[in-house]
Amino acid sequence: MSGRYNIFMSDLVSFIRENHQFALDQIAAAARKVGRNPDDVKLVVVTKSQPVEVAQAAIQAGVRILGENYPEEGVTKIQSLPSQSGVEWHMIGHVQSRKARLVAEYFELLHSLDSLKLAKRLDRFAAKQDRILPVLLELNVGGEDTKAGWVVSDDSQSNRFLPDVRAILDLPNLRVCGLMTMPPLGTDAEDSRPFFQRLRLLRDQLVSLHPEADWKELSMGTSADYMVAVEEGATLVRVGSAIVGARRYKSEKEAL
């Protein structure tokens, strides 16, 4: 570990511990407000584009689920930290086909499955690992060109989604657990609410179409809008900057 981080490690741990606790309290308040059990919401702390020391400090601060956007960056962190029981790593960013093996090997849950092609590759690599990989289907509820996921902003596009769902549900080494979305960037947390509602509605439709699958998880909400997401049924919220601070370096994608 670099000297600079040795000096500040304890400050970093308390900074993250405080922010983490604050976010947990906010989640609990949002859940109670709508009559939900706070225990039904899991907080994924996003450490993408942060040095490994930040992930280490988060674990020391009591964080149990870490989220990464880039498979290689995530695997580097996983490998450089001693494996700790009860600590899970989730992949939340777009996965290129050639990175499928890393995801199938190292991550507990993929939030961002966005194509049948990727699903088939993950299924093959998961089989080689002799495991079943839990996945969420990423839906592009805002219909933006810049976002990954199946576009479901109108019914004609949803027609392409449903055959893909059927094919993915048949893959033996993937287990579909629910849906994920990234709404269009708004100016206010409330701007995200209709998109979160739409994801929940789509989930309810999938439950009736495919009751054999488990559609329990709704991964939605970031630092900007996680309380609204919890009010709308999120079971997983993905919070980065509000807990670990501003990202230290630009990720490949954000640098574009």
Phi, psi (deg, nearest 5) at residue 94: -55, 130
Which DSSP helix (H) or strand (E) runs through 101?
Answer: helix 100-106
> Is residue 119 involved in binding ligand PLP (CB under 6 A)?
no
Could you give the CA distance from residue 149 to residue 50 in angstroms, rounded to a whole number? 25
Could you tell me the smallest distance in angstroms from the CB atom of residue 115 to ligand PLP?
16
- The residue from 36, 48, 121, 147 that contacts ligand PLP (CB under 6 A) is 48
**Does 46 engage in binding with ligand PLP (CB under 6 A)?**
yes
Copy the structure tokens of residue 32: 């109670």
If the CB atoms of residues 165 and 244 are measured against ligand PLP, the closer one turns out to be 244
The pair of structure tokens assigned to 90 is 């989730």
Token pair listed for 100: 């499928």
Task: Compare residues 132 and 189 and give the one whose CB is closer to ligand PLP.
Answer: 189
Q: Does the protein bind ligand PLP through residue 182 (CB under 6 A)? A: yes
**Region 69-98 residues binding ligand PLP, contact defined as CB under 6 A:** 69, 92-93
Give the DSSP letter of residue 185: P
Q: Are 200 and 192 in contact (CB under 8 A)?
A: no
| Closer residue to ligand PLP in complex, CB, 173/251 | 251
Contacts with ligand PLP, 127-166, as mask; x by CB under 6 A: ----------------------------------------
Q: What three-state secondary structure class fits 45?
A: strand
